Amino acid sequence: MRRRNVVGGLTAFAAAATFPKPSIAQSAAGIVVIGGGFGGASCARALRRIDTKLRVTLIEPNRIFTACPFSNEVIAGLREIEAQQFTYDRIVAEGISVVAEAAVKIDPQTRVIALAGGQALHYDRLVLAPGIDLRFDAWPGYDEAASAIMPHAWKAGPQTLLLRRQLEAMDDGGLVALAVPAGPLRCPPAPYERASLIAHYLKTRKPRSKVLILDAKDAFPQQRLFEQAWKELYPGMIERVSLSQGGRVTSVDAKSHKLVTDFGEYTAQVINVIPPQRAGRIADIAGAVDKTGWCPIDPVTFASRLVPDIHVIGDACIGGGIPKSASAANAQAKACASAVASLIAGQEPPTPRLSGACYNTVAPGYAFSQSGIYQVRDGLFAEVERGDTSPVDAPREMRAHEAENAQGWYRSITVDAFG
Ligand code: FAD
């Protein structure tokens, strides 16, 4: 990103804050999007496409975004981290001001955002898309320092590479344990995709090793498909201890490499701790988070139910049965952009109908998927139509075909969000 664009964005909004609104305020409205991930980047682009007169600013501290989807393949050594990384150059080229700083404060009364560098930005409407924060207060013993020993790898980047290096350094015959929280969590099937791909790595490199999943849930998404694949591809390699079998982790001891559950203690050579989650901290600072830790929204406009002129999309929002995924964040981003543009133009926002697909790759050339369609029911998103779900007893050609589709899905969603 060029410095010129950063300064351009700040200047434009300083002016908007100082001078009275022009009579064309409607088309010159300033919209700020916080968070340049799948939700925020897609929303900023959609806003500019709907109306090129809208002044759109995207605030994101990282100059390079590292995507989580397919990061389990990086952990398993099947893909390099560079395939996960995207710049904001295309977004800047479309006339969006990208400010490479973190937002640290939001005053909904004056509609001013404070940035980490000390500057202030005014908004007419604000879209929050900060993703998740990991709850380092949830499991005694698991804090940020402990994550340097037992990586979470639930935000892609250095943590992803740390977990991969630990697997590479482990002796054949070692145990890899995953601690999985109860929901809501980012990408509910991803822990099981990760366990599968780790098993693939072990099967090919360290065949005497095993994977243990300690789970705070009894059931999990696409369970029959995963369990069928484990039987077929990794017999005897993956053991899962569910909630009712005592699998819920209650505390962690990073020094002695130990996970403590309701019924026992487990020591493993490599431990991936996926802690409970909540909306990104800035949403809390804005006052948009309720006691669940997430942001309640009006599902038609994505407007916060707690703070005026603020919309929330992506993992940070909670609005019913739509899962926290890049697919959902991207679909919500477009619907939210359309609602925001309608509201600015004084028009009735359209009622959204969102669709999302979720692919799980459990080995190279072996994937399955589930898709759904979501609409507003009683003030929440509800799944109104089951899309396609891969059959449990599908032939291998179908799994191979789905693995190709998964790659295609990743290419198109990342082009859609980042160009
Ligand atoms: P993010 O994409 O995380 O973006 C949030 C952005 O906000 C970040 O860039 C962050 O830096 C920024 N931010 C936070 N706070 C501030 C602040 N104060 N100021 C400015 N910026 C801020 N989904 C799928 O659909 N398919 C998959 O196959 C899939 N696989 C996954 C595998 C794994 C291992 C994991 C962990 C997740 C997976 N997901 C998948 C889920 C997907 O990654 C998330 O649901 C998606 O990234 C959510 O988008 P978002 O915009 O809400 O958050």
pLDDT per residue over 41-51, tens digit each? Answer: 999 999 999 99
Task: Write the CA distances from 40 to 29, 128, 390, 416, 418, integer angstroms.
Answer: 18, 7, 30, 12, 10
For residue 184, whether the previous peptide bond is cis, meaning omega lies within 30 degrees of 0, is yes
Q: What is the mean pLDDT of the segment spanning 86-95?
A: 97
Both 330 and 414 in one domain: the answer is yes
Q: How far apart are the CA of 315 and the centre of ligand 1, in A?
A: 7
Contacts of 17 (CB under 8 A, 6+ apart): 112, 120, 121, 122
Query: In this structure, is residue 213 part of a structural domain?
Result: yes
Q: What percent of the chain lies above the pLDDT cut of 90?
A: 89
Per-residue pLDDT band at 319 (split at 50, 70, 90): confident
Both 206 and 158 in one domain: the answer is yes
Query: In this structure, is residue 140 part of a structural domain?
Result: no
Per-residue pLDDT band at 10 (split at 50, 70, 90): very low
Both 289 and 346 in one domain: the answer is yes
Q: How far apart are the CA of 365 and the centre of ligand 1, in A?
A: 25
Both 125 and 157 in one domain: the answer is no
Mean per-residue pLDDT over the chain, rounded: 92
Query: In this structure, is residue 89 part of a structural domain?
Result: no
CA distance 312 to 284: 12
Each residue's pLDDT tens digit, 397-418: 999 999 999 999 999 999 999 9
User: Domain count of the chain?
Assistant: 2
For residue 65 and ligand 1, the question of a CB distance below 6 A is answered with yes
Both 266 and 287 in one domain: the answer is no
Both 165 and 235 in one domain: the answer is yes
Q: What is the mean pLDDT of the segment spanning 293-299?
A: 97
pLDDT at 17 over 90: no
CB 249 within 8 A of CB 262: no
Mutate which of 315, 327, 361 for ligand 1 pocket (most atoms within 8 A of beta carbon): 315
CA distance 177 to 416: 35
Task: Write the CA distances from 291 to 183, 276, 287, integer angstroms.
Answer: 15, 14, 11
pLDDT for the residue numbered 66: 98
Per-residue pLDDT band at 324 (split at 50, 70, 90): very high
Q: Which atom of ligand 1 is nearest to the CA of 326?
A: 25
Q: How does strand 120-122 pair with strand 97-99?
A: unpaired
Both 269 and 219 in one domain: the answer is yes
pTM here is 0.94
For 179, the token pair is 């601690």
- CATH code at 237? 3.50.50.60
Instruction: Mark which of 209, 240, 273 sits at the end of a domain.
Output: 273
pLDDT at 135 over 70: yes
Both 220 and 315 in one domain: the answer is no
Per-residue pLDDT band at 350 (split at 50, 70, 90): very high
Mutate which of 6, 38, 361 for ligand 1 pocket (most atoms within 8 A of beta carbon): 38
CB 194 within 8 A of CB 69: no
pLDDT for the residue numbered 22: 29
Both 384 and 306 in one domain: the answer is yes
Query: In this structure, is residue 96 part of a structural domain?
Result: no
Query: In this structure, is residue 72 part of a structural domain?
Result: no
pLDDT for the residue numbered 85: 98
Both 251 and 305 in one domain: the answer is no
| Nearest to 316, CA basis, from 333, 335, 334, 338 | 333
| Phi and psi at residue 9, to the nearest 5° | -65, -45
Contacts of 409 (CB under 8 A, 6+ apart): 327, 357, 359
Domain that holds residue 203: 146-273
Q: How far apart are the CA of 2 and the centre of ligand 1, in A?
A: 24
Query: In this structure, is residue 322 part of a structural domain?
Result: yes
Both 153 and 261 in one domain: the answer is yes
Q: How does strand 366-377 pair with strand 317-318?
A: unpaired
| Nearest to 260, CA basis, from 153, 173, 141 | 141
